[in-house]
Amino acid sequence: MTDLRESALRYVRANKDAFLETYLEILRIPSVSTDPGQVEAVRQAAEWMAARLRELGMQAVQVYPTARHPVVYGEWPGAPGAPTVLIYGHYDVQPPDPLDQWESGPFEPTIRGEDLYARGASDMKGQVVASLKAVEAILRTGDLPVNIKWLLEGEEEIGSPSLEAFLLEQREMLACDFALNPDSGMLGQDWPTITYALRGLAYFELRVYGPAHDLHSGIYGGIVHNPAIALAELVSGMHDEQGRITLPGFYDKVRPLSAAERAELARLPTDEAHYLAQTGALALTGETGFTANERVGARPTLDLNGMLSGFTGKGAKTVIPAWAMAKISTRLVPDQDPADVYKQMVQYLEARAPGDIRWELDDLHGGVPSISDRDNPGVRAMAAALETVWGSKPYYRREGGSIPVVSQMQRLLGIESVISGFGLPDDNVHAPNEKQHLPTWYRGIEALVHFLLNLKP
Amino acid sequence: MTDLRESALRYVRANKDAFLETYLEILRIPSVSTDPGQVEAVRQAAEWMAARLRELGMQAVQVYPTARHPVVYGEWPGAPGAPTVLIYGHYDVQPPDPLDQWESGPFEPTIRGEDLYARGASDMKGQVVASLKAVEAILRTGDLPVNIKWLLEGEEEIGSPSLEAFLLEQREMLACDFALNPDSGMLGQDWPTITYALRGLAYFELRVYGPAHDLHSGIYGGIVHNPAIALAELVSGMHDEQGRITLPGFYDKVRPLSAAERAELARLPTDEAHYLAQTGALALTGETGFTANERVGARPTLDLNGMLSGFTGKGAKTVIPAWAMAKISTRLVPDQDPADVYKQMVQYLEARAPGDIRWELDDLHGGVPSISDRDNPGVRAMAAALETVWGSKPYYRREGGSIPVVSQMQRLLGIESVISGFGLPDDNVHAPNEKQHLPTWYRGIEALVHFLLNLKP
């Protein structure tokens, strides 16, 4: 066993350039799942994933069509009697806008210093390729002591609308002991991390309509409710003076933080100075009565993700716009439900929207929050692996982002997920100049080798 | 004299098609003064104007360069001892965005029904061509009984930044008895109108900066002040519950409306039903204590003209934007000053902007409000001309739009303006599908013939 571990790690170190080549290949495919113009690129990324699984000798490899973007499946059932781990990943990415802020093309992966820049480098093509390469390192140098199933979807960045149906239909094929989900990240380069809770998401588009068409602001200014101002009024009323969200009943199902959990979150290395450095904000802010670590991980939030109205070009156009739009999303914690939050948003608008405008609310997507058991064989194998590679025990944290598949797998497959990953907080995920720290990525591949070998019963 | 009037009117009626051809020509030139990409088109429009003046036999025709877009001048000094009228016009237009809402191209003039659709059809290429054609009709059929000077600028839609210097430098050349400014319009097709007061303008761009770059709304939601929300909060605080503007000192210099003037404004045919029909709004709104006619003409207002932040494409992107922008403009009434309002906006922001964001305010342009004498030979000549053509006395109104040149001419040349025009309230000026009602345009040419002939001492 020590021999296999050593030989697999030697394989990783000997094949760094080849691994990087594979990584660059998939980063060049612009698999933006929300963009109707990139359907073909998303399909191409799925085929690329299937081809890699076949190269690895996986069986039953198949690209399953769904209502939108395909799911890629493959399995390696070569260790009868040993545990089966389902490796989850997504091969789709966020849109690259604003394009003009990228220092190199989002789909032209470029290395600067120790970082590899490209959309999806961190979230999460890098993590999927790291998983593929860890399995490759073991299989090319010995025997895999566990069974593996791969579930690679193309809709994570749009809320995984087809995944629930797929999990239900393929429940037997996907049967396993637990899942590995490397779609989270580390608190810092020297701070290996396991995530045990994830926030959920409810994402809306609110459109406010005023006059039937754009109006001259001189001729008509003073008699119509400007829809951009009406939108600003509605949005600014969604928080109170304490930074609490005012949607009716929003906090009803929020699970209170226990004293023990607050103490644990207080031990995280991510202090205010860390968050100030990561965000570049002048000051931290948010709900009063909670620390920064609590606010980003264990408390729900509401953000504007985008806003558009009227004339936004250079110079001045004296117009009263006919409409205004905001993308509004909430991050949810156990036991909030995105379907409830949609109703609360409708109630808020019904109560607060003035009678001189019309409004429409689209429910763009949602994901249920999750919290999981920290003491299971999967988590123990990952904790040991991270400690071996980094030389320090991992941090356990609640993470602010949303990975709806974790709660879907709990609910539909009855399995827990080991949630980790090798992205860093300053990777600019969902933003221009997304990157992956390459030394951390290579360490991550080694950690995944240890993780898989640690699972041997 | 009756003969000249009759022959000039016959000329107008005989040359309708040729007049329309001239009109279409200038509408095809995309002279968008705010657009740095259209500098050449603006110059071309100036040359076109100069060519028309030369064809008319005007003297001293010249295209005067300025810091930005040229001023076209020409004169007809053929009536020594008679009054001199300075005909003001602008050949530049507003940007055509949003382009996708035009039923025909903004620079491909198209007739549908009785209307001619194109950017600038109403504001104000149509009014300039009507003036040219009225002078042509008189000169081709007899003698012009007054002297004429033309002042045609290309920067009206960006606040006429070069005009003040031009008026000062060329004060002697521009000496005259009064100005004709046909850049206003009519209250309705059957309601000829003379405008005696104009609102001023102060137009700003406010940019709010939060984090150093776009952030993942899951990982960082809860600790930074979202700049789009901060902008919404700032903007929504700019009006109070009574619809009054909260900038400090904003109303200090507003001239109160006299009872007599309120009574006069109450007689205008533009009632609430009229404004509801024109705007398509569900309800009228605005500052409490004032009628709709008072609010659009005699009270100052604040509008959002545009707003932009974060992700505005299709679908969902879970980002906390790094910045947000709003175009904010105020319409001013005597004796407010745009320079004061800029300072008041800065004071408001200094007092209200939270310490966790940065902000920048650009003063994009301003114009001083004006109010003028209603009893002078020019206004009397126009009132008689309108009554001759429409068969009813004109309405006198305060107009909500801004024509800064009127107050500049008062101040720098010491002259009053006769403010009228033949656009209609539903012409969609500054909006998609701008149009000019052609029967009203032809009537306008006849009215201008009468006006010029009425000026004979």
With CA atoms as reference, the chain A residue closest to B424 would be: A219
Which token pair is A419?
């949630």
Please, how many CA atoms are within 13 Å of residue B278, restricted to the half-sphere of its CB? 24
A228/B306 CB distance under 8 A? yes
Most B CBs within 10 A among A183, A239, A304, hence the mutation to make, goes to A304
d(CA B146, CA B256): 38
The residue among A330, A365, A400 that closes a domain is A365
User: For residues A137, A142, A144 and A145, what is the CA-based torsion angle, rounded to 10 degrees?
Assistant: -130
Residues B210 and B80 in one domain: no
pLDDT of the residue at B21? 98
Backbone angles phi, psi at A67, to 5 degrees: -60, -20
d(CA B228, CA A308): 10
pLDDT tens, position by position, A263-317 = 888 888 889 999 999 999 999 999 999 999 999 999 999 999 999 999 999 988 8
Q: Is residue A281 part of a domain?
A: no
B296/A220 CB distance under 8 A? yes
Residues B420 and B305 in one domain: no
Residues A235 and A329 in one domain: yes
| B355 inside 8 A of chain A by CB | yes
Q: Is the peptide bond before B337 cis (omega within 30 degrees of 0)?
A: no
Q: Is the pLDDT of residue B295 over 90?
A: yes
Q: Residue for token digits 């071309």?
A: B44
pLDDT tens, position by position, B158-176 = 988 999 999 999 999 999 9
d(CA A190, CA A391): 9
Q: Is residue A257 part of a domain?
A: no
pLDDT of the residue at B20? 98
Backbone angles phi, psi at A423, to 5 degrees: -80, 160
B223/A279 CB distance under 8 A? yes
Q: Residue for token digits 């909060």?
A: B233
Those residues whose C-beta lies under 8 Å from the C-beta of residue B17, and which sit 6 or more positions away, are none
Q: What is the CB neighbour count within 10 angstroms for residue B72?
A: 24
Q: Is the peptide bond before A173 cis (omega within 30 degrees of 0)?
A: no
B279/A36 CB distance under 8 A? no
pLDDT of the residue at A234? 98
B218/A203 CB distance under 8 A? no
8 A C-beta contact, residue B170 and residue B72:
no
In angstroms and rounded to an integer, the radius of gyration of the C-alpha atoms of chain A is: 23
Q: What is the CB neighbour count within 10 angstroms for residue B284?
A: 20
Provide the residue-wise pLDDT of chain A in tens; the chain has 457 residues. 458 899 999 999 999 999 999 999 999 999 999 999 999 999 999 999 999 999 999 999 999 999 999 999 999 999 999 999 999 999 999 999 989 999 999 999 999 999 999 999 999 999 999 999 999 999 999 999 999 999 999 999 998 899 999 999 999 999 999 999 999 999 899 999 999 889 999 999 999 999 999 999 998 999 999 999 999 999 999 999 999 999 999 999 999 999 988 988 888 888 999 999 999 999 999 999 999 999 999 999 999 999 999 999 998 889 999 999 999 999 999 999 999 999 999 999 999 999 999 999 999 988 889 887 777 899 999 999 999 999 999 998 888 877 879 989 998 999 999 999 999 989 999 899 999 999 999 999 999 999 999 998 7
d(CA A8, CA A452): 11
What are residue A203's DSSP bridge partners? A329, A365
Question: Which of B139, B125, B136 has the alpha carbon at shortest distance from B15?
Answer: B136
pLDDT tens, position by position, B410-428 = 989 999 999 999 999 899 9
Residues of chain B with Cβ-Cβ distance to A211 below 8 Å are 279-281
Active-site entry in B35, B75, B92, B294: B92
| Reported ipTM | 0.79
8 A C-beta contact, residue B389 and residue B420:
no
pLDDT of the residue at A192? 96
Residues B121 and B251 in one domain: no
Residues B91 and B75 in one domain: yes
8 A C-beta contact, residue B141 and residue B4:
yes
Question: Which of B323, B303, B293, B297 has the alpha carbon at shortest distance from B311?
Answer: B323
Residues B320 and B380 in one domain: no
pLDDT of the residue at B368? 87
CATH number at residue B320: 3.30.70.360
Q: What is the CB neighbour count within 10 angstroms for residue A264?
A: 16
pLDDT of the residue at A255? 93
DSSP secondary structure string for all residues of A342-371: HHHHHHHHHHHS-TTSEEEEEEEEEE--EE
Q: Report CA torsion sign: B119, B124, B129, B134.
A: positive
Q: What does pLDDT average to over chain B?
A: 95
Most A CBs within 10 A among B282, B288, B368, hence the mutation to make, goes to B282
Residues B190 and B333 in one domain: no
pLDDT of the residue at B219? 87
What is the nearest CA distance from A233 to chain B, expressed in angstroms? 5
8 A C-beta contact, residue A190 and residue A213:
no
Q: Where in the sequence numbering do the catalytic residues of A fall?
A: 92, 156
d(CA B18, CA B14): 9
In angstroms and rounded to an integer, the radius of gyration of the C-alpha atoms of chain B is: 23
Which token pair is B320?
């906390």
| B27 inside 8 A of chain A by CB | no
Q: Is residue B91 part of a domain?
A: yes
The residue among B367, B391, B422 that closes a domain is B367
pLDDT of the residue at B407? 86
Which token pair is A215?
């109006």
8 A C-beta contact, residue A212 and residue A322:
yes
Kindly state the percentage of chain B with pLDDT values over 90.
85
B295/A219 CB distance under 8 A? no
d(CA A300, CA B226): 15
pLDDT of the residue at A85? 98
Backbone angles phi, psi at A447, to 5 degrees: -60, -40
Q: Is residue A310 part of a domain?
A: yes
Q: Is the pLDDT of residue B1 over 80?
A: no
d(CA A285, CA A280): 13
Instruction: Kindly state the greatest CA–CA separation across chain A.
Output: 83
Coil, helix or strand at residue A87:
strand
B216/A430 CB distance under 8 A? yes
Per-residue buried b or exposed e for B86-119, using 16+ beta carbons within 10 Å of the residue's own CB: bbbbbbbbbbbbeeeebeeebbebbeeeebbbbb
pLDDT of the residue at B374? 75
Q: Is residue B192 part of a domain?
A: yes
What are residue B110's DSSP bridge partners? B117
Q: Is residue A318 part of a domain?
A: yes
pLDDT of the residue at B2? 58
Residues A194 and A207 in one domain: no
CA distances from B175 to A117, A375, B61, B368, B378 (A): 65, 92, 16, 22, 15
Q: What is the CB neighbour count within 10 angstroms for residue B314?
A: 13
Which token pair is A448?
């995944």
A309/B306 CB distance under 8 A? yes
The domain tally of chain A equals 2
With CA atoms as reference, the chain A residue closest to B283 would be: A356
The residue among B367, B382, B417 that closes a domain is B367
Task: Please give the DSSP secondary-structure letter assigned to residue B291.
Answer: -
| A356 inside 8 A of chain B by CB | yes
Question: Which of B152, B60, B321 has the alpha carbon at shortest distance from A431?
Answer: B321
Residues A82 and A45 in one domain: yes
What are residue B76's DSSP bridge partners? B148
| B207 inside 8 A of chain A by CB | no
What is the nearest CA distance from A323 to chain B, expressed in angstroms? 10
pLDDT of the residue at A2? 59
d(CA B392, CA B398): 19
Residues of chain B with Cβ-Cβ distance to A306 below 8 Å are 228, 309-312, 317, 319, 321
CATH number at residue A66: 3.40.630.10
pLDDT tens, position by position, B336-393 = 999 999 999 999 999 999 999 999 999 998 888 988 777 789 999 999 999 999 999 9
d(CA A179, CA A416): 6
Q: Is residue B153 part of a domain?
A: yes
Residues B170 and B220 in one domain: no
What is the average per-residue pLDDT within B132-137?
A: 98
Q: Is the pLDDT of residue B3 over 90?
A: no
Residues A100 and A232 in one domain: no
Coil, helix or strand at residue B322:
coil
| Domain region containing A212 | 200-251+300-365
CA A178 and chain centroid, separation:
19
pLDDT of the residue at A419? 95
Q: Is residue B267 part of a domain?
A: no
| B423 inside 8 A of chain A by CB | no
Residues B131 and B9 in one domain: yes
